[in-house]
Amino acid sequence: MYNLGMKKIMICTALLGVVFAAHAELERISLNGTWDFSFARDAKLSSASSGFKATDKMVVPGCFDLMPKWYAQRGLAQYRRTFALDKPAKDAWLVVKGMGLQAKFFIDGREVAVSKLPYSTLEIPLGALAAGEHTLVVALDNRLPGSKDLVFKAFYDFFLSGGFYHGVELKLQHADVELDRVVVRTRDYKTGTVELALEAKGALPASLDATVSFDGGAAKQVRFADGRARLAVPAFKLWSPESPNLHHVTVAAGALGSVSARFGIREFAAHDKALWLNGNKVWLKGVNRHESDPEDGYATSLPTMLRDVQLIKSIGCNYIRGSHYTQCDDFLSLCDEIGLMVWEESLGWGNYGELDDPGFMAAQVEQTRLMVKESINHPSVVINGFLNEFGSNLKSGIAIANLLVDTIRAEDTGHLVTYASSHPTDGICASNLDFIAFNTYPGWHQDSARASTPESLNKTIKDRFNACVKYLRKTYGADKPIIVGETGCYSIYGCHDPMAAQWTEEYQSEYLDHWLKIVKASPEIAGFTVWQFCDARTYFRGGSDIRLKPLAFNLAGLYDRHRNAKMAAETVKRHYTEK
């Protein structure tokens, strides 16, 4: 279980209308680069200590089990590096931007945390640090044990890598109270009214005077009550995929420091069978995307992320579903800038037997809360989800679904809440969702024997689609929006056949063409999400019928693993860009 014991931000009654002299924000030190390293296949995380003999070097960020020496090996990796402080810190935190799969952390020989939440951004309390040299050690385990309480499982249909995915940094506090960040929430998109919420290390006064500046403009004196203030952004512009306008805010509170944030003003809503962005009906046109690189795994580089965003945008998409875990902050920033809405979801896949396990439920709540808090200032994130394809046909699924819906809504983001259901004709857990998303693969995973000709394939898809919509409308009412969360089929890049045999680019193109014609003609559907953007590594050896996942890759991508376009990419582009 996740036991970092993170210190909660305290808002307390204190001074009224206090103004302080200026000083800089919390100090941050990057720990990215080369670390001392060793790997032991049989060592246990529970017995790991800070003392070990380094045999190699490893880079952070990076996935050690994709390096030649330890390729596809599972066991215990140990990392170590030193850093020096030129002055003491009253308090310090280690910020881990996604790791896999579970880890134990030490500072100067002292154990400070254990985490079993891969992909999450973790903020680990280190305590006060003296000036001088310090040693950080991390024991990191990439094995896949069968314990019910873990949020990651061996059967998940994507390759779970070991390493630090997007970097590590120190956060240092030097004063008794320092501003940590400012959260920006859209309160009225029509007037450009936002709420600023200050978060601090230490206790903020109940009333605080600070200066606020938007977009480099003139600073304005503002009184924050319990850390919050509502303001209208001058000359505001709305954020949308077509016009991804971004604003910037700086809050300066004298000795408490200053904090800045980039944000966008937008409202995403669901009603009357439709989804609405800034009051305008929007039809979601998207792809599912794994954080996947054939060489770097989940430690994708910024150029890879940019390439993906540009390719996705180029085929007419207006949104991405981040499958199936917390998304990288840099990736979300690119979506903010280029204009792609994002569905971000916490880690889960095909969970059934563990749904009522107290440890699993608690870990799901914690990782979901961390995800929502971390990405709250990204205007691209308009949807939060959880537990892809869990047992939503089971009574045991109702409690955890409602618990996670409440967890997301408690953060007051304005994001819509849903999950992707693989039970569109017998699910029972979607009553509290803002909209419904269903996954189905007729003619491929289901009823493939009925899809031997183009005509029979089209009928198979249409029959399944109609059955899903009929059940969902009967069960959840006439007004709740419905989208297709996943569908697709596999193809091998460069494999062509005039008969359009299965696994060819022609068959995949035909399959998605059938689907898109059907959903675009239906007044019941508010969006469509192709499975998936690009081919991605999954089970290494075992875990699935090898006829479904050959070469240990999910080959349903519109692009191959190297981002070469298949025929289906052009088919999707034609449908997504048609007026």
Q: Cα(506)–Cα(510) distance, rounded to whole angstroms?
A: 6
Query: Which residue type does 475 have?
Result: T
Q: Cα(117)–Cα(464) distance, rounded to whole angstroms?
A: 36
Contacts (Cβ under 8 Å, ≥6 apart) of 56: 37, 38, 39, 69
Which pLDDT band holds residue 451 (cuts at 50, 70, 90)? Answer: confident
Looking at every residue in the chain, the average pLDDT score rounds to: 93
Per-residue pLDDT tens for 527-572? 999 999 999 998 766 655 656 777 788 999 999 999 999 999 999 9
What are the extents of the domains in the chain? 27-173, 178-266, 293-577
- The token duo for 292 is 């996947």
- The region of weakest confidence among 17-26, 272-281, 466-475, 531-540 is 17-26
C-alpha distances (whole Å) from 120 to each of 64, 211, 367 are 18, 33, 6
Contacts (Cβ under 8 Å, ≥6 apart) of 303: none
Contacts (Cβ under 8 Å, ≥6 apart) of 573: 314, 315, 316
Q: Which residue has the higher pLDDT, 5 or 57?
A: 57
**What's residue 398's pLDDT?**
98
**DSSP code of residue 409:** H
C-alpha distances (whole Å) from 184 to each of 27, 28, 171, 261 are 22, 22, 21, 8
Q: Cα(398)–Cα(406) distance, rounded to whole angstroms?
A: 12
Percent above pLDDT 70 for the chain: 94
Per-residue pLDDT tens for 328-384? 999 999 999 999 999 999 999 999 999 999 999 999 999 999 999 999 999 999 999
C-alpha distances (whole Å) from 534 to each of 259, 316, 490, 544 are 38, 16, 11, 19
In this structure, are residues 363 and 327 in contact, taking their beta carbons and an 8 Å threshold?
no
Residue among 305, 268, 243 at smallest CA distance from 383: 268
Whether 427 has a pLDDT exceeding 70, the answer reads yes
Q: Cα(56)–Cα(217) distance, rounded to whole angstroms?
A: 51
Residue among 79, 81, 96, 84 at smallest CA distance from 38: 79
In this structure, are residues 446 and 502 in contact, taking their beta carbons and an 8 Å threshold?
no
CATH topology of domain 27-173: Jelly Rolls (2.60.120)
Which pLDDT band holds residue 432 (cuts at 50, 70, 90)? Answer: very high
Give the residues across from 33 on adjacent strands: 60
Per-residue pLDDT tens for 65-111? 999 999 999 999 999 999 999 999 999 999 999 999 999 999 999 99
**What's residue 146's pLDDT?**
83
Crossing angle of the two packed helices 358-374 and 395-409, in degrees rounded to 10: 30
Superfamily designation of domain 293-577: Glycosidases (3.20.20.80)
DSSP of 529-577: EES-SB-EE--SSSSS-TTTSGGGEE---SB-TT-PBPHHHHHHHHHHH
Which pLDDT band holds residue 448 (cuts at 50, 70, 90)? Answer: confident
Whether 22 has a pLDDT exceeding 50, the answer reads no
- The token duo for 158 is 């994507």
In this structure, are residues 274 and 481 in contact, taking their beta carbons and an 8 Å threshold?
yes
In this structure, are residues 227 and 14 in contact, taking their beta carbons and an 8 Å threshold?
no
**What's residue 457's pLDDT?**
95
Range 315-319 average pLDDT: 98
In this structure, are residues 342 and 381 in contact, taking their beta carbons and an 8 Å threshold?
yes
Produce one character per residue of 226-248: b if its CB has 16 or more CB atoms within 10 Å, e if not: ebebebebeebebbbbeebeebe
Which pLDDT band holds residue 59 (cuts at 50, 70, 90)? Answer: very high
For 142, the enclosing helix (H) or strand (E) is: none
* Strand ranges inside 240-376, DSSP E: 247-252, 258-263, 268-271, 274-277, 280-282, 284-289, 319-322, 341-345
CATH topology of domain 178-266: Immunoglobulin-like (2.60.40)
CB neighbours (10 Å) of residue 462? 17
**What's residue 495's pLDDT?**
97
C-alpha distances (whole Å) from 227 to each of 204, 224, 230, 262 are 7, 5, 11, 18
Give the residues across from 553 on adjacent strands: 537
DSSP of 2-45: ----PPPPPB----SSB--------EEEE--EEEEEEEESS--G
In this structure, are residues 385 and 320 in contact, taking their beta carbons and an 8 Å threshold?
no
Q: Cα(351)–Cα(355) distance, rounded to whole angstroms?
A: 7
Q: Cα(342)–Cα(354) distance, rounded to whole angstroms?
A: 28
Q: Phi-psi category of 246—alpha, beta or left, where left has phi over 0 and alpha has psi -120 to 50?
A: beta
DSSP of 206-232: SEEEEEEEETT---EEEEEETTEEEEE
Which pLDDT band holds residue 18 (cuts at 50, 70, 90)? Answer: very low
Q: Count the alpha carbons within 13 Å of 452 in the hemisphere toward its beta carbon.
A: 2
In this structure, are residues 422 and 445 in contact, taking their beta carbons and an 8 Å threshold?
no
Give the residues across from 28 on adjacent strands: 171
User: SS3 letters for 181-197?
Assistant: EEEEEEEECCCCEEEEE
